[in-house]
Structure 1
Amino acid sequence: MSSLHIRHLSHKYALTEVLNNISLDLHAAETLALVGPSGCGKSTLLHLVAGLLTPAEGILQSSFQGVATVFQEPRLMPWKSARDNIALGLKALGVPAKARRRLAEELGRRLGLSADDLDKYPHALSGGMQSRVSLARALAINPDLLLLDEPFSALDVGLKEELYALLDQQISQQGTAVLLITHDLMEAVRLADRILMMVPNPGRILHEFPLLQPHDRRDTAWVYGTLAELMQVETVRVGFGLASGPLPEPVFHSHDQGCPV
């Protein structure tokens, strides 16, 4: 089974330490959410996992073979149609033109993109449509590790729910592991199997909150109730600046350890 293991990872930009002593595990078919205030190093950690940066210290071991990333901004190629943007990864993998066109269209349709939408260039698509194309591009290569850097933050509630459902389907059918960065604690409760609370100066993991409810039983009442419970946890309130007080010492938890929530 594929997995990601990080132990005592630290990273600096010049003399500024942005991550300190990060340790975590992520396994196939599991969604791990990183939450915390701006500046706590969430995106830097994701870039390290993606291989876009090299850690200054520590161990980062991954046996995932196919990794795809979706960023907050869609980052589409403006000179390519939506269809060709979706097919970019397939082209890089050497998939023949006819096959990648068919696969791109099938995936685009799954995400609610019409044939006309697929013919359009990014500037002619709404923000929501661009986000669908960006997610389709990542899913097209059938990754076993999906890195999500707040890709849903600018979307309306209805579109978020559609994409959440598609993500659930990808995980259940393909066994994809997901590392999700979000400022939205409700989104983390909705999607994650475990939540890691991070704090800044330097960025570090403060606590882990496993969510044991099966995804297919996470109705609206459960999501809101669990969010309310989390918002009463002193570590969360202090970490997000909602209450004053000293932060506890960071604690590392392996993926199978429990906690009160």
Structure 2
Amino acid sequence: MNALHIRHLFHRYGPTEVLTDVGLDLYAGETLALVGPSGCGKSTLLQVVASLLTPSEIVMHNDFRGIGYVFQQPNLMPWMNAQDNIALGLKALGLHREARRRQAAALALRLGLNEADLGKYPHELSGGMQSRVSLGRALALSPDLLLLDEPFAALDVGLKLELYGLLREQVVQRGCAVLMITHDLMEAVRLADRILLMVPEPGRVIHEFTLDMPQAERSESWIHHSTGELMETWEVRIAFGLTTGELEIVTASHGKHTGCQV
């Protein structure tokens, strides 16, 4: 089974240590969420996995052959229409123009865009449409590993729920692994199989939560109830500043909380 294994990840910006001794494991078909407040190094960790950043120290083994990255901002090419933005990675792979446009159009339709949207430029698209194009650009490469850097953070609740469904559908069909970062604990409970809780100064993993309810069986009431249970754990309350107290350093390999099973 393909997997990503990280041990002893450290990173510094000058004298400031932003990640210290971070470790994680991610397996094919699994979604792992990194949750924590701003400044705990979640985006830095994602950039390391994507080879966009060389860390100060790391031991990493990665079996995944292709990586798709969905950024917090869509970052679409303003001179390209929606269809060509989705096909951008396929062009880099050397696929013939007509073939890549055909694949991009089919994927766009599956993600809720219509044929008229394909010829629109980013400034002509709503925020939700831009998010669909950004997701399509990553999925077009058929990645083994999909990296999500809070791509739904700026969207309204209804659109988030729609895109959550589209994402899960594509992940199940393709069998890829997902490493996602979010501030939203309910989003993590909705989408992830496991949650790693991070804290800042310096950024580190202090706890792992396992969600044993299969994705297809998670009802809205279960999601809300499970999120409420996690919000009551001392690890989450201290990490997000909901209570005061001394934060014990607990790594993911020392004790796992499974209290969100219902």
Asked if TM exceeds 0.5, the reply is: yes
Alignment partner, residue 6 of structure 2: 6
- For residues 189 and 175 of structure 2, the distance between their equivalents in structure 1, rounded to whole angstroms, comes to 19
* Correspondence for 2:258: 260
Q: Which residue of 1 aligns with 2:226?
A: 226
Could you give the per-residue CA deviations for residues 77-133 of structure 1, whole angstroms, max 9, x where no partner exists?
000001000000111111111111111111111111111111011011111111110
Q: 1:107-256 alignment to 2 at 5 Å?
A: 107-253=107-253
Match of 2:257, SS state, is coil
- 1:38 has 2:12 as partner: no
Q: Which amino acid aligns with 2:160?
A: K
1:16-42: CA deviations, max 9, x gaps? 100000011001000000000000000
Supply the AA of the counterpart residue of 2:60. Answer: L
What SS class does the counterpart of residue 221 from structure 2 fall into? Answer: helix
Post-superposition shift, 1:259? Answer: 2.6
Tell me, in whole angstroms, the C-alpha distance in 2 between the residues paired with 1:137 and 1:146.
11
Between the aligned partners of 1:188 and 1:252, the Cα distance in structure 2 is 16
Aligned match of 2:70:
70
Deviation of the 1:260 alpha carbon: 3.0
Counterpart CA distance in 1 for 2:256 and 2:21 is 21
3-state SS of paired residue (1:250): coil
User: What SS does structure 2 have at the residue aligned with 1:186?
Assistant: helix
Q: Once superposed, which parts of structure 1, at least 4 consecutive aligned residues long, lie more than 4 Å away?
A: none
AA aligned opposite 2:169: Q
RMSD: 1.1
Aligned residues: 259
SS in 1 for 2:179: strand
Report deviation, 1:163: 1.3
Encode CA deviations 1:3-56: one digit per residue, 9 max, x unaligned. Answer: 100001100011110000001100100000000000000000000000001111
In structure 2, the gaps of 5 or more residues are none
Task: Return the TM-score normalized by structure 2.
Answer: 0.96
Segments of 5+ residues of structure 1 without an aligned counterpart are: none
What's the counterpart of residue 20 of structure 1?
20
